[in-house]
Amino acid sequence: TTTYYMLKKFRKFITSSNWHVIYHPVLFNNLNQFSLTNSSYDDNYILLYGRMMAGKGEDVLIKALKILKDKGIIYRTIICGPSPNKDYPTNLIKFYGLENQVVYVGSRLDKELAELINRSSIVVIPSTWEEPFAQTAAEAMFFGKIVIASNIGGLAEVVSDFGLLIPTKDPYALAEAIHELMSNRNKREMLGKKAKEYARKVFDPENYIQNYLKAVLK
């Protein structure tokens, strides 16, 4: 299984001592080397990416940004990923009057997405459902980006102590966490470096293969 969170779930229904937890690797169609050899940039924007399905939490992010804007604090934000309702992210942005600071760019191919991650300041994943794993978090950390994530499901396990975990569905907590990091570049660079070191070790494809072979051949 992909996380200890899911292992706990499975054990409620299937009794077995032969369970193995193997984290998914970061692949990006052979663009891993991109994240390892290129310097991380910081173009001073927040990134939320992934499939914009129910439970992704883009509404929580938008509300958090509105809370900050009402205090005179404005951060540029990019939302990226396919949406079953292509108008929903844009309409949500307009509803809260954030058109001048938030943009929804739709889907992006691997190379474009890698560049968006590499140039972001932080990655936000305010999911409201219990994700079995959190590929976006692993990818962002692989690029040395600090992740702010909901303290729920496999997402919390992937981020662990190498990001900021916040209560689910709490835009005020998210707003506070965003401002804490966006107003302190040194802090996010320091935390991002630790996240990258961890991710390169835990989510490395070679590590995945070795763990898989150990489980199969045991």
For 45-55, what is the mean pLDDT? 91
Q: What is the pLDDT of residues 188-206, one digit of tens each?
A: 999 999 999 999 999 988 8
As a CATH number, domain 42-201 is 3.40.50.2000
Q: What is the pLDDT of residues 60-86, one digit of tens each?
A: 999 999 999 999 999 999 999 999 888
Task: Give the per-residue pLDDT at 168.
Answer: 97
Q: What is the pLDDT of residues 141-162, one digit of tens each?
A: 999 999 999 999 999 999 999 9
Task: Give the per-residue pLDDT at 215.
Answer: 73
Q: Where are the domains of the chain?
A: 42-201
pTM over 0.75: yes
Residues contacting residue 198 through CB under 8 Å, at least 6 positions apart: 141, 160, 162
